[in-house]
Amino acid sequence: MANGVVTDTHRYVNREWSWLQFNHRVLLEALAPENPLLERIKFLAIFESNLDEFYMVRVSGLIEQDAAGVSQRTPDGLTPAEQLEMIAETIIPIRRQAAEIWENDLVPQLEKQGIKFISAEKLTKAQQKNLNLYFETEIFPLLTPLMMEPAQTFPFISNRSLNLAVELHEDGRTKWARVKIPPVLPRLIPVNGDPKKFILLEDLIGANLEHLFPGVEVIGSHIFRVVRDADIEIRELEAADLIDAVEKTLRLRRFGDPVLLEVEESIAPAALELLQKNLELQDSDTFIVPGRLGMDFLWELASLNEPTLKFETHHPFELPQLEESENLFQAIKSKDLLVHHPYDSFDPVQTFISSAATDQRVIGIKQTLYRVGSESPVVESLLEAGEAGKQVAVMVELKARFDESNNLIWSRALERSGVHVTYGTVEMKVHCKLCLIVRKDQDGIQSYAHIGTGNYNPSTAKLYSDIGLFTCDPDICQDITELFNYLTGYSRQVKYRKLLVAPLDLREGIIERIEREIEAKHQTGVGRIAFKLNSLVDIEVIDALYEASRAGVEIDLVVRGICCLRPGVPGMSDNIRLVSIVGRFLEHSRIYYFANGGEPEALIGSADMMRRNLDRRVEVLVPVSDPDQIEYLIEDAIGAPLMDNVKAWLGMPGGGYTKIQQEEGQHPYSSQDELMKKPATKVLPLA
């Protein structure tokens, strides 16, 4: 910003920096006193898992661009090299803070609850005896020491594995070996069977290294881990080769280039130099971490049977009228149904899909699958329907990153059961969440649809906040039928009746509605836009929102993660308020609301406002037509986060966030807690 004028490069927040700010907000939940202790530990585990994926995907891509000499600047004005430098400078203090939270806050709190970590040197003789026996029988057979010198013998270091660099002394020479900590064993080992006292697996191995190197002097060991490039692109051009391409990608991912080395603070300089040299990494690619490495053991810790140290179990609103498919279809026929998970039960969605196998009137089903998990009642229902001889077509997205293997397994099982399975194309991911059921009702053939913002996965439906719409609107059902024809065949549909579909017209549809709101503001003096989404990155949509703000349209944005828009900048975004919620449930729903001159319009669906979603994915937004449901979306699903003073962060013009504090005399208001008190749809008893 120069002389008070916003320049192009200052109109936008850097995408990677914005993501790092989001992950920092996740980390700070590990400090939040209102969170139970084991939930705070879970947030720390999520922080590290997020960071690993960021390096495996985003940082690896920037490294490739920089190595290829790419100098193209992002909308905020940074080259790949400059972004890598910014990331390194930003993440180091955050990573150190994570270590300090564990060592200085969480460990003492655990000890107050009787949950303790015991170092090898503090074990009693009796404890040592029992643990040594466990080491000899359960651990030792799995260990394989490997030479780290000379260079040609340097072992392959698996992605995200935990390792010991072991310093040895023999014949007057220092030698180095690598011992991989077996990932098939739990990291938390109870001491003498005590469910609250543990030694970590790497500590027990480190205390017994002499068993691995008999006759050689063991000087000591140092823990390290490597994160590798996991964003291996599918480069084959023919859709017919897609399965082979995905299988090849899965194999290649294991051997991606190293992008990050993490070492403990006490590492010997010689060990660090050896690792950096052989992994071809620099100081800028290395985290020297105080405290523990490899926080994945925190997932084991968070799963301890300690109910008082966790959130109280949430019991979603049940819709008993919808437990039977006959009642469910009758209810949908009489009125569109809106469900908001996890506040509302996911059971109606499962009933809807399982009806394909159990309801004699159901004759066909069409379904998209993106992330369904390793165990899937939804896919099991589709398998039963296929085996029953019903007409079932499933679009399985094989390229759902890190879920490719599960999706391959399920797709083959579906094909064996007689289901028509398609995989889309290499160029385009199918991210929309659609299910269409064709049923022979008493009054004729009727189509029913479910359109959601989240995956057909009952496990994540308990953890992610998502919206789903059941409808038998003939225009919507016909749109979905024609969209499936595009996904599975050679249809080149160019216009839909009610759906907005990416990459066809979704961006244009959103921008047209923003422009309509500007016109309404000019005509009536009133204009309101409210979006709830995961990420706001697309420059064209951001520029349209800036234009609406300058026209005086009131704009509220609830953006969980990345936001490249700068709110509250004088002359550019004065009328835009940005809020981010990080809480018990992962905010995952996408809602787009427009006041529309007194005739409110709301759309839900799978699309975030990102270039990849709008240009390189098949996404769908569907309008919600019921006035009561539109009111719920704006007053509750979006309105509650805007009133939050417990879990809400306010976006600032500079791109950072500040925690919203309760004002004097104000009661605490947590949007997720409040939404747990109110169902999205109250279904009347069926006649």
Q: What is the pLDDT of residues 567-610, one digit of tens each?
A: 999 999 999 999 999 999 999 999 999 999 999 999 999 999 99
Is 681 a domain residue? no
Same domain for 448 and 350, yes or no, is yes
Domain encompassing residue 610: 501-675
Strand partners, 1: none
pLDDT grade for 284, boundaries at 50, 70 and 90: confident
Greater model confidence, 491 or 315: 315
Structure tokens given for 670: 């947590």
Buried b (16+ CB within 10 A) or exposed e, 469-498: bbbbbeebbbbbebbbebbbeeeeeeebeb
Residue 539 confidence (pLDDT): 97
Q: Is the separation of the CB atoms in 320 and 348 below 8 Å?
A: no
Structure tokens given for 532: 């709830």
Strand partners, 339: 468
Same domain for 45 and 59, yes or no, is yes
Same domain for 406 and 549, yes or no, is no
Q: Tell me how many domains the chain contains.
A: 4
Same domain for 238 and 381, yes or no, is no
Same domain for 53 and 199, yes or no, is no
Is 680 a domain residue? no
DSSP 343: T
Residue 239 confidence (pLDDT): 35
Is 54 a domain residue? yes
Same domain for 96 and 173, yes or no, is no
Is 286 a domain residue? no
Same domain for 439 and 581, yes or no, is no
Least confident of 44-58, 279-293, 362-376, 449-463: 362-376
Whole-number Å distance between alpha carbons of 200 and 188: 5
- Identify the CATH number of the domain in which residue 221 sits: 3.30.1840.10
401-404 LR contacts (CB < 8 Å, sep 24+) = 401/57, 401/231, 402/53, 402/230, 403/370, 403/371, 403/372, 404/246, 404/249, 404/250
Judge if pTM exceeds 0.75. Answer: yes
Is 288 a domain residue? no
Alpha-helix residue ranges (DSSP H) falling in 280-421: 297-302, 325-334, 347-358, 377-387, 404-416
Instruction: List active site positions.
Output: 431
**Mean pLDDT in residue range 427-443:** 91
Whole-number Å distance between alpha carbons of 191 and 205: 14
Is 293 a domain residue? no
Residue 245 confidence (pLDDT): 54
* Integer angstrom CA distances of residue 104 from 31, 201, 291: 11, 22, 10
Is 291 a domain residue? no
Q: What is the mean pLDDT of the chain?
A: 89
Q: Is the separation of the CB atoms in 611 and 488 below 8 Å?
A: no
DSSP-derived 3-state class of residue 288: strand
Question: Does the pLDDT value for residue 406 go beyond 70?
Answer: no
Please identify, among 440, 461, 491, the residue that sits at the C-terminal boundary of a domain. Answer: 491
Q: Which of 144, 150, 267, 165 has the alpha carbon at shortest distance from 211?
A: 144
Q: Is the separation of the CB atoms in 351 and 322 below 8 Å?
A: yes
Same domain for 220 and 104, yes or no, is no
Same domain for 306 and 221, yes or no, is no
Whole-number Å distance between alpha carbons of 527 and 552: 7
Question: How many other C-beta atoms lie within 10 A of the C-beta of residue 125?
Answer: 6
Between helix 15-28 and helix 37-54 the angle, nearest 10°, is 160
Same domain for 66 and 186, yes or no, is no
pLDDT grade for 413, boundaries at 50, 70 and 90: confident
Least confident of 9-13, 259-263, 314-318, 429-433: 9-13
DSSP E strand stretches across 460-541:
464-471, 500-502, 528-533
Same domain for 516 and 656, yes or no, is yes
Same domain for 527 and 652, yes or no, is yes
Question: Does the pLDDT value for residue 477 go beyond 70?
Answer: yes
Residues 6+ apart with CB under 8 A from 553: 517, 518, 521, 527, 528, 529, 575
- Identify the CATH number of the domain in which residue 644 sits: 3.30.870.10
Please identify, among 457, 491, 525, the residue that sits at the C-terminal boundary of a domain. Answer: 491
Radius of gyration of the chain (CA): 27
Question: Does the pLDDT value for residue 279 go beyond 90?
Answer: yes
